Structure 1
Amino acid sequence: MTTQQGSCHCGKIAFEVEGQPESVLACNCSMCLRKGALHWFVPRDKLRLLTPEENASTYLFNKHAIHHRFCPTCGIHPYGEGTDPSGKGMAAINVRCLEGVDLAAIPVEQFNGRAY
């Protein structure tokens, strides 16, 4: 299996994630629209932090369902955490934070997050 490397801009948050993004999701909720994230959803156990978890700050809003993780130093949002409808832990990887990914080659699915 392929392992992707990722980080925030300053490197205070670094991680690796197993898999290859086949498609990503662009959400139009008030948070995602502003930060411009392209989300790749993976089971939480496929995400491995390479830096201490406490390096990331958390932002919660609306229903507090997603823990938006961001770097308090550089402000970048490399991933989020939550659960899928069956209760399994999930991670939303911001593919813009992965090294060497050709964003133009990944299909983007639009998600109407404003409706939730």
Structure 2
Amino acid sequence: MDGVSMETDGTTGAMDLMDEAGRMLNTGWGEVSERLTMMAGRLGQGELGAAYLERYQPAATETTAAVEAHCRQPGRLAAVGHQCVDLYRTADQRIAGTFTSVDPAAPTAAPPADATLA
């Protein structure tokens, strides 16, 4: 990249890899989450277990929600990356069409006196 150009094929490939990593992360977390849920039913037995569970459950619930949110991020970032590539390609095609439609031999018209560069 030179600050103006995007390597669209390379960027698309990177977004595909990020999306795949996100899917793998979700699959792995799903397996761990299922095990934790199964094992949670064993907690809280007896007096000590009940005291442990009372402190464990809120933290476990909060941690589970945070991990699930983080597991979704790679897929979301990949989707936005793919949108950016599509927007770049569209803009690149539009501007390329403008350059090919300009007649270099045609005189350049001066902008109107009240034109601004806003």
TM-score (norm 1): 0.18
Instruction: Name which one, 1 or 2, has greater alpha-carbon Rg.
Output: 2
Structure (1 or 2) with the greater strand fraction: 1
TM-score (norm 2): 0.18
Structure (1 or 2) with the greater helix fraction: 2
Structure showing greater relative contact order (alpha-carbon pairs closer than 8 Å, 6 or more residues apart): 2
